[in-house]
Amino acid sequence: MKKADKKKRIAELTPDALAQLDPDTLISVIMKLYEQNKQLSEQMQAMLNEKYGKKTEKHENPDQLRLSVQTDATTAETNTSATETKTASSKAPKKKPGHTRNPMPSHLRRVPIDREPTESERICSCGSHRKPVNQVVRNRRFECVPVSVFVEEIIDHVWQCPACGDSVVVEAEVLEPIKNGTAGPRLLVQIVEDRWLNHLPLYRQEQRFSRLGIDINRSTMCGWMTSLSLMLRPIYDCMKALLLESKVIATDDTPVKVQDRKKKAHIKRGHEWIFMGDNQHPVNLFHYTQGRGRAGPRDFIPGFKGYLLGDCFSGNRALCAETGATFVACRAHDRRYYKKARLNNKQLCDEMLSMYQELFDVEQAARDLCLSADQIVLMRQQESVPILKRMKCWLDKHVLTALPASSFGKAITYSLNNWEALNAFLLDGDLRIDNNLAEQMMKMFATGRKNWYFFGSDEAGLQASIMLSLLATCVRNNIEPGKYLYDVIVRLTQNPQCDPAALMPHVWKPQTNTAEITDVNDTPKVLSEVC
């Protein structure tokens, strides 16, 4: 009997029909209905938790005893009589000290605000004139200048000889990132930052300019972004070549909507990938593909033979099989399955989550101690391997009783099927146990697509990859994206043939007058006396 016919038969059973079944058949029907009910219950709990529950994946071990630090005063109170202890506990707790103001950044320009004394303030009651002897900074506050747009008129002067009439045109030396375009470099940088870092769609930027009395259409800004992406493409290609030299590449992907007039709903599904280099090659590259097949990552990192860190997507495994790379699965993904299954299997999932907490504590200790790669490998062999052995025994024990279709059963199956790849982080100390860094970078798309909703075309996805790669690499290397983009645009405008490898964010050095930066010293609270 086919599976669909069997389900239909079970659904059509009436009380009279159930009464006619033999005991063995009746037990099988009850077990089937029990499994279906459990699956539906888990799905309902997962939906409710997704909508109303906490988003954090933090786990607190219920068996962990809470530590209480006792001072000398509390120890003395413990040794007193019961009456004194009761009196002491009834007192109101001490008020926590409030936090102070954060120091003002020293690189910001200081603007003094003061006034000249009036005539009555200058003259003392004794008739003498007061003289300034000291000044005190009463308060400091932040202030900003609202965004302002102005028009630059590029004027060429014509000089003519009055005697012979010979003339010469004196052209203004001006930077034009877009030939005969109507956008200067600072305006282009502002639009890029608002678009990709502040997640402000072009139509909202169009509305903002309109409130300022400026008519800049979103289609015009799209053309500017296209020209700018073509200018920055050589830097992106250099970053891609550098990425392939990494020993470890972390990757992740997320779906994005793409406008397509040929589709029924005028929308199709594309994918954005991220590829993060290791610490010696600190570049973050995004890559757009029209689908989620293995061809996209394979064509982007051809011939890579290092370690590929990511989720257990079949395309990642196929890519490693073709190129000879070593696949390293993310332990955070595996842990997430037990976090979701905890809704209906609290006790068992807490046991696995507690073992995971021990495993991640080892990694945190290694980072806090700033251990070398060889030391991390040794530490993992001594402390992590015993934990993994306990995990494996736990999995082999509970896989026999877990319902395969339940969320708990799926979590165990995922762990056992990918056990070798999940333990690959033990091979090298430069490998992370999780892929959280790549997932955090994908938030740039996850947050943005809630605002701009879709790409206008496949070409727009490629342009977005170039822009976001430069911005994400700046963020990774603690570089201000606005200053970087402006300086790079100026250099490429002045010399389009300059070496793009020297303009990659992690090796970039600004061509800025140091006097503009050093002339912003912090103002002391009380200045020295003036005699």
Q: HSE, CB side, 13 Å, CA atoms: give it for residue 312.
A: 21
| DSSP structure class, residue 296 | H
H/E stretch holding 119 reads helix 119-122
Let me know if 484 is exposed, middle or buried by CB neighbors in 10 A (0-12, 13-18, 19+): buried
Give the span between the Cα atoms of 254 and 271, in whole angstroms: 6
Length of the chain: 531
Distances (CA, A) of 270 to 48, 114, 206, 292, 455: 29, 58, 26, 8, 9
Distances (CA, A) of 456 to 188, 222, 259, 286, 453: 19, 10, 5, 18, 10
Give the span between the Cα atoms of 334 and 332, in whole angstroms: 5
Pairing label, strands 267-276, 248-259? antiparallel
Rg, Å, the chain Cα set: 33
pLDDT digits (tens, 9 = 90+) for 340-360: 888 778 888 899 999 999 999
The predicted structure's pLDDT at residue 13: 64
Pairing label, strands 284-289, 307-310? unpaired
- Spell out the domain ranges in the chain: 3-40, 173-322+446-516, 331-434
The predicted structure's pLDDT at residue 386: 94
DSSP 64-111: PPPP----HHHHHHHTS-HHHHHHHHHSPPPPPPPPPPPPPPTTSPP-
Helix and strand numbers (H, E) in the chain are 22, 8
The predicted structure's pLDDT at residue 134: 87
By the 8 A CB rule, do 302 and 323 touch?
yes
The predicted structure's pLDDT at residue 328: 93
Buried b (16+ CB within 10 A) or exposed e, 362-377: bbeebeeeeeeeeebb
What would the two tokens of residue 108 be? 């910001």
The predicted structure's pLDDT at residue 425: 93
The predicted structure's pLDDT at residue 12: 61
Q: Which residue, among 256, 318, 323, 325, has the nearest Cα to 468 in the 3D structure?
A: 256
What would the two tokens of residue 70 be? 């006792």
The predicted structure's pLDDT at residue 389: 94
What would the two tokens of residue 474 be? 């700046």
pTM: 0.75
Flag residues of the chain having pLDDT under 50: 1, 68-71, 74-76, 81-82, 85-86, 88-89, 513-531
The predicted structure's pLDDT at residue 341: 86
